[in-house]
Amino acid sequence: MNTVRKMLESIYYRSPSVIKNILVTLHQLYASSKWKGKDYDDDLIFYRKNGKKIQQELELIQLIQLRKLLEESLQFVDFYKQFYPLSKNYDFSSDEQLMAFYYQLPVIEKKTFRTELNKFVNNNPRRKTVFYNKTSGTTGSPMTSPFDKASLIKSFSTWRRFYDFIGLPDRFKTIRFSGKIIVNPHAVTPPFWVEDYSNRRLFLSSYHLKAEYMMHYLEKINEYKPHMIEGYPSAIFIIAKYGQKNNFKLSFKPMAISTTAETLYEEQREVIESFFGCKVYNQYASSEGSPLITECTCGHLHLNIDTGFFEFAHKGKDDSGWDIAEMTVTSFRNLKTPLIRYKIGDLVQLSADGPETGCNCGSNFPYIRGVIGREDDLLFTREKGMIGRMDTAYKGLEGIEKSQILQISENEFVVKMVINADYNVVVKKKFDKNLRERLGNDITIKMETVEDIPLSSNGKFRAVVRLFKLN
């Protein structure tokens, strides 16, 4: 099988650009045939109506969907069948008893879900697998999540509602950066992109973002004139920063930038918004089908509670005074492999009272203050405690093209940097001062200049990595 796959990849990589585009378009048409149709239209109406409901109605919808999910899982999911006798002690028609039973269920670790996936598959004969979402995972650990048709429909209809919220029309042109390898990774000449004609979508490679190729990217973006650019914030930031530095003038303005899959830092937001002349909207989900968190026009990150249930375990406060909490989620978006009290491993910023309500954007979904990312994206020193964001340490510094902070121990840091001719001793001293202001003085910082900092196996860039576990 691997031999056949390699042979097909080789043929694809050697094909002319137009043939690649046709193949990608055919693949996308086939993929969309698995979820497009009347059921999708009905789901989209349901989710669009939810977006206008008051909070009490949304909470009722959340409970109704949770009840359905638990009832089906107790009957058809091997892992949850063991809790069926316990469930008979609770009256699910009572919201209080439903939640009492829910909190009796164990929290599922990501590693357990990954290594014992078969136990979590929904064997309801109505839920035939139509799609496998495969990813290497943030830390390189592979994850495969089966989806049935209903789950794909829920995913695409809730994404479409997000596009409604940020003002996109029914049909729009998109440029997307993701971890998919769409052109030969060893290619040294453009095109570093392929086009899906059917969905008016241009896929740009995240693996060729070198200085010598930047102008090709910028010229293609300018030629394509998308309504929206979406994908990894690190990739979009690299493009925007290069364009800004080299005074590249766009002849159009996108309606929106949508970032996902990585932590979005404030410096990245500022540079991207400045260069492209439009707002950046951050959003959070996961390849295994977690509930959605989406940014609104007011800049708040709304918990889409009709896509799942959110629990927050307090971990402490960050250096800005916000509460840091670890998320455990239950999702209504993947019914084939249900995520019930799933410890997804990501941290968020909250007010002391938890999620807030009453956003001026008009949405009645509760909102949080920020998504930090994985727990090992959070730094810790005895002097400063937990440190959630380090992007401000780079503000105003010239000469640093790319950087990664590695925390080896509580008082030992290594900073890898890709630098240019603007980097000098003054910048180095200022950077060291900025780091110590945020991390504390009783630490050692080793700065290393490198030619490049590789992406992870799924195409993501990790700006901060803590290499030890917190007690």
- Which carries the bigger pLDDT value, residue 382 or residue 78? 78
What mean pLDDT is predicted for residues 247-262? Answer: 94
DSSP lists the bridge partners of residue 330 as 309
DSSP lists the bridge partners of residue 133 as 145
Summarize pLDDT for 149-181 with one digit per residue, the tens: 999 999 999 999 999 999 999 999 999 997 788
**What pLDDT, on the 0 to 100 scale, is given for residue 114?**
85
Q: Is the pLDDT of residue 135 over 70?
A: no
Percent of the chain with pLDDT over 90: 65
- Which carries the bigger pLDDT value, residue 416 or residue 394? 416
Rounded Cα gap, residues 459 and 181, in angstroms:
9
Taking the alpha carbons of 423, 429, 434, 439 in that order, is the dihedral positive or negative?
positive
Q: 37: which residues sit within 8 A by CB, 6+ positions away?
A: none
Summarize pLDDT for 217-241 with one digit per residue, the tens: 999 999 999 999 999 888 899 899 9
- Which carries the bigger pLDDT value, residue 13 or residue 4? 13
Summarize pLDDT for 21-38 with one digit per residue, the tens: 999 999 999 999 999 999
What mean pLDDT is predicted for residues 255-264? Answer: 91
Burial class (CB in 10 A: 0-12, 13-18, 19+), 248: middle
Instruction: Give the pairing type, strands 342-350 and 323-331.
Output: antiparallel
How high is the mean pLDDT of the chain?
Answer: 90
Model confidence at 457, pLDDT cuts 50, 70, 90, reads: low
Q: Is the pLDDT of residue 374 over 80?
A: no
Helix, strand, coil shares of the chain, percent, nearest 5, are 35, 25, 40
What mean pLDDT is predicted for residues 116-134? Answer: 93
**What pLDDT, on the 0 to 100 scale, is given for residue 139?**
43
**What pLDDT, on the 0 to 100 scale, is given for residue 142?**
57
**What pLDDT, on the 0 to 100 scale, is given for residue 140?**
43
Most confident residue range from 55-69, 197-211, 256-270, 393-407: 55-69
Cβ atoms of 227 and 173 within 8 Å: the answer is yes
**What pLDDT, on the 0 to 100 scale, is given for residue 262?**
82
Q: Report the predicted TM-score, pTM, of the whole model to 2 decimal places.
A: 0.83
Q: Is the pLDDT of residue 393 over 50?
A: yes
**What pLDDT, on the 0 to 100 scale, is given for residue 50?**
96
What domains are defined for the chain?
38-375 (3.40.50.12780), 379-466 (3.30.300.30)
**What pLDDT, on the 0 to 100 scale, is given for residue 58?**
96
Model confidence at 138, pLDDT cuts 50, 70, 90, reads: very low
Q: Is the pLDDT of residue 377 over 90?
A: no
For 253-257, 284-288, 417-421, 459-463, which range has the lowest pLDDT when averaged over its residues?
459-463
**What pLDDT, on the 0 to 100 scale, is given for residue 376?**
53
Most confident residue range from 330-334, 382-386, 456-460: 330-334
For 259-263, 366-370, 441-445, which range has the lowest pLDDT when averaged over its residues?
259-263
Of 326, 312, 320, residue with least CA distance to 385: 320
Summarize pLDDT for 283-314 with one digit per residue, the tens: 998 888 999 999 999 999 999 999 999 999 98
How many degrees, rounded to 5, is the angle at CA 338 between CA 106 and CA 96?
55
Which element (helix H / strand E) includes 303? strand 301-303
How many degrees, rounded to 5, is the angle at CA 231 between CA 226 and CA 236?
75
